Chains A and B, each alone.
Chain A
Amino acid sequence: MGNNGSVERRTVLKAAGVSVAALGLGAATGCGGSGSGAGDGTVTIRYAWWGADERAKRINRSIELFEKKYPKIKVQTDFQDYVAFWEKFQTQAAGGNPPDVFQNAVGFLRKYDKRGILLDLKSQIDAGNLSLKNFRAGVEKVGQVDGKQLGIPVGSNTMSLVVDEKVFEKAGIQPKQGWTWDEYFAALKRIHDTQKVAGDTGYFAIMYLYDLYLRQNGKAFFTKDGLGFDEADLTEWWTDGYNRVKAGIITDPKRVEQDKPKSSLSAGHAASEFTWDNFTVRYTAEGDSTYGLAPIPTTDGKQTGQYLASLMLSASAHTKHPEEVARFIDFMVHDPEVGRIMGYDRGILATTEQFDAFKPSDAPSKAIAQYEQDVAAAGVLGTITPHPAGADTVESAFLRIGGDMSQGTTKVSDAVKQFFSEAKTALAV
Chain B
Amino acid sequence: MGTAVTLVKDSPPGTAPARLGAPGAVRRRRRGENLAGYLFMSPWIAGFLLLTAGPMAASLYFAFTDYNLFDAPRWIGLDNFTALFDDPRWQKSVEVTAKYVVIGTPLKLLLALGVALLLAQSRRGQAFYRAAFYAPSLIGASVSVGFVWRALFSDGAVVDRTQSFLGLGSGGWVGDPGRVLYSLVALTVWQFGAPMVIFLAGLKQVPRELYEAAEVDGAGPLRRFWSITLPMLSPVLFFNVLLETIHSFQIFGSAYVVSNTTCGPADATLVYTCYLYQKGFKESQMGFASAMAWMLLLAVALVTAVLFWSQKRWVHYEEDVR
Contacts and interface: CB of A to CB of B under 8 A. Distances in A.
Contacts of A94: 69-70
Contacts of A224: none
A323 interface: no
B145 to A, nearest CB: 12
A317 interface: no
Contact of B261 (A15, A19, A254): A15
Most buried by B among A16, A83, A259: A16
B253 A429 contact: no
B69 A404 contact: no
B175 A260 contact: yes
B172 interface: yes
Contacts of A12: 143, 256-257, 261
B68 interface: yes
Given A12-B261, A94-B70, A403-B266, A258 B172 contact: yes
B95 interface: no
Contacts of A400: 264, 267
Contact of B143 (A13, A93, A393, A404): A13
Contacts of B261: 7, 12, 15, 83-84
Nearest to B143: A13
Contacts of B257: 12
A90 B264 contact: no
A176 interface: no
Interface string B139-166: 0000110010000000100000000000
B12 interface: no
Contact of B266 (A83, A86, A87, A404): A404
A416 to B, nearest CB: 13
A429 B283 contact: yes
Nearest to A5: B260
B155 A90 contact: no
A213 B265 CA distance: 27
Contacts of A225: none
B57 to A, nearest CB: 15
Interface in B175-193: 175-177
B285 A19 contact: no
Interface residues of A, number: 35
What does DSSP make chain A's interface, helix, strand, loop or mixed? Answer: helix
Interface string A409-429: 100000000100000011001
Contacts of B260: 7, 260-261
B21 interface: no
Interface string B41-74: 0000000000000000000000000001111000
A18 B280 CA distance: 13
B304 interface: no
Contacts of A84: 261
A91 interface: yes
B284 interface: yes
A234 to B, nearest CB: 17
B88 interface: yes
B282 A258 contact: no
A257 interface: yes
Nearest to A9: B147
Nearest to A404: B266
Contacts of A69: none
B38 interface: no
B284 A429 contact: yes
A409 B155 contact: no
Given A257-B177, A259-B155, A91 B143 contact: no
A90 B69 contact: yes
A254 B176 contact: yes
Contacts of B69: 90-91, 94
Nearest to A91: B281
Contacts of B283: 393, 426, 429
Contacts of A253: 266
A180 to B, nearest CB: 32
Contacts of A418: 88
Interface in B264-296: 264-267, 281-285
A338 to B, nearest CB: 31
Contact of A16 (B147, B256, B284): B256
B17 interface: no
A425 B90 CA distance: 14
A34 to B, nearest CB: 17
B231 interface: no
B284 A258 contact: no
Contacts of A83: 261, 282
Contacts of A90: 69, 281, 284
A421 to B, nearest CB: 8
Contacts of B253: 16
A407 interface: yes
A170 interface: no
B301 to A, nearest CB: 24
A68 interface: no
Given A12-B143, A12-B257, A425 B266 contact: no
Most buried by A among B70, B155, B253: B70
Contacts of A261: 260
B171 interface: yes
Interface in A273-303: none
Given A91-B69, A261-B260, A429-B68, 13 more contacts: A7-B261, A19-B281, A86-B282, A90-B69, A94-B70, A254-B175, A257-B175, A257-B176, A257-B265, A257-B266, A258-B171, A260-B175, A429-B285
13 contacts: A9-B143, A13-B143, A16-B143, A84-B261, A94-B70, A254-B176, A258-B172, A259-B155, A393-B283, A400-B264, A407-B177, A409-B266, A429-B284
Interface of B: 68-71, 88, 143-144, 147, 155, 171-172, 175-177, 253, 256-257, 260-261, 264-267, 281-285
Interface of A: 7, 9, 12-13, 15-16, 18-19, 83-84, 86-87, 90-91, 93-94, 115, 253-254, 257-261, 393, 396, 400, 403-404, 407, 409, 418, 425-426, 429
The 9 closest A-B pairs by CB, nearest first: A258-B175, A94-B69, A257-B175, A257-B265, A115-B70, A258-B155, A429-B68, A393-B283, A429-B284
